[in-house]
Structures are given as structure tokens and as C-alpha cells.
Amino acid sequence: MKHPAYHLRVNKTVDRLTFIDAVKRIARLNDLAEYTYYGFGGPYLEDFRLLYEFYPEIKMVSIESNDETFKRQRFHAPCNESQLTLRKLNFKSFLARYDPRDEKSIFWLDYTGLEFGNFEDFMLLLGNVSANSIIKITLRCESSDYIGKDAKQEEFRQKFEEVLPYSHATPPIDLVDFAALLQEMVQIAAQKSLSSGMPMMFQPVSSFCYKDGVGMFTLTGVVCQRTETARINAAFKGWRFANLVWKKPMLIDLPTLSTKERLHLQRRLPCAKGSGKTLRLALGYLIEDDKRSTEKKLKQYADFHRYSPYFMKALP
């Protein structure tokens, strides 16, 4: 089974590292040793590697249905089976057997497509996890799948009618706007699963969209007692990437910069205001077609530079 090299993609890496940051803030409220992480690791198990590197106390379970990908996972496992369990089954089968037994969980539903079944999985999971569990969901957010294709747009409305904010909703062309629509759909799914009369709720803590070959949307939240929301929000107060009130997802769109350029810009960071202009002036030239687009890209770098990976060429 072919897989894109997700471990080598800049925007996806930033998404992973902001997730690591979110988990760190949950550690202010609960002992991370009480958590088990469940995810779709893919062939390289990159998110598992990062979690093990930062939080070795968290036990981990990878869920994979493809035979060959499962073999690659066994090869790439970042730690031994006492810390990481590799499960060969599909996620719906896993969900049917999942019993948290009051143990806290961290889930990353890292889907590569956009299907109503993704929302069904999410809703079922919300009703099963223990309080203070974390759920991150990632969905395809590619407008070209629908734009100019009336039949596809109608199919979208029919397929997702149960979670659409309005019956005539159509995927927007703009990535951020499409991501905002998907976020509304996730919010509706969460409210259907955990209605206002129930003691538990889904509290969002961050949401992003980015290009990873295609457009992607991702949202992280905490399942908690309604009486505990202030405590959850306090843990994320001051985090520049927090989204605690379902506002529009934040765009991740880092520029391609050389190592020399990054080192040159690094000493000017962080800068509170006008970061795009400040970095453009520091470079002394444009990296996009005009000043506006250059400053927009360089602001992205200023916002996410601490999470931006270095990919180096090495000769054997």
C-alpha cells in the first residue's frame, strides 16, 4: 500500500508538534501516565515516535488494517511492545471492542478522506471515552473534489445532511472557509453525541487547516464534565494556538526557506507586531510574487517557526 511521506511534510509536522504542545497542557491537569494514546500511525509511526520522545510515560496503541503497512510498522516501532501495542484490525472493529474502564484516552482520528463514517466514529467515541480524554480528528478538506461538479455538491449535501449547519451548504473554494464548514459539522456531531442535557461535553482546544498534498482540516478537543470547562480553558489560556470557542481554524502555510535564511531570521523572533514586514525587511528581498504575499508567508513562519522542521540532505 502506497503512503505519502507524511513524516517529511512541513505543514503536517507543524500539526503534529502543536498536538504535542496541547498534550503538554493537559499534563497540567492530569498525570499523563494515566493516558493511553490510540492512533492510525501509518507505515512510519511518526506521531508515536514523537509521543514516545516527549512523553514516554504514555502507553500507545496503533490501529492498522493493511497487512503490508502493519509489517512496516513492526519495522519502524520506536519502542518495545511494553509501551507500544500494534493492533491489526480496522477502526470500526476496534471501536466495537473499546472499553476504557475509566482510563483516560488520547485519540487521533487521522483520516485521509472525508466520509460520513468519520463523523459516526467520532460521535461513538465521544460517548465512550472517560472524562478528560483527548480526541483529535483530521479530515480531507479539498474544494477541488466538489467545485464545478454539481452532482458532487449534491452528493455532499445528501451524505452529510445529519451534520450540516444548513441544508444547502456547499463546500467553499477557500481552504479556511471549507475548514470552517467542516468545523461546524464536527461541532454539530459533538452536540448530537453529547447533548446539552448530559453531564459531559466536548471542549475544543485548537483547530487548523493546511495543505498536505491536498487540503486538510484538524481539530483537537477534550471530553470533560461541563462543570470542568473553566479548568480546561485555564490550562490553555495564553497558548497562542488555542481555539476554545469554535472560532475559524488557523491556517498553517509555511514558506520554503533555506537553512541560511532561517538562521538569519531566527534572531529577530519572536516579534509581537508586524512580523511579516519585519522579516521581509530583514531578508531584503521577496520570497513570493509581491510584498503582501511575501509578508503573509513570513508571518506564517513567525507564528510557527518553533514547530518548523529542518530537512537536511546527507551524502552516504
Question: 145-183 pLDDT, tens per residue?
Answer: 998 889 999 999 999 999 999 999 999 999 999 999 999
Helices (H), 199-274: 229-236, 259-266
CA 40 centroid distance within chain? 12
Rounded to whole angstroms, the Cα distance separating 189 from 164 reads 9
The pTM for the full model equals 0.94
Q: Is residue 126 within 8 Å of 190, Cβ to Cβ?
A: yes
Q: Is residue 304 within 8 Å of 262, Cβ to Cβ?
A: no
Rounded to whole angstroms, the Cα distance separating 62 from 92 reads 14
pLDDT single digits (tens) 23-72? 999 999 999 999 999 999 999 999 999 999 999 999 999 999 999 999 99
CATH topology of domain 6-252: Rossmann fold (3.40.50)
Nearest Cα neighbor of 269 from 234, 293, 304, 294 is 304
pLDDT of the residue at 211: 95
The residue ranges of every structural domain in the chain are: 6-252, 259-307
Nearest Cα neighbor of 40 from 126, 138, 134 is 138
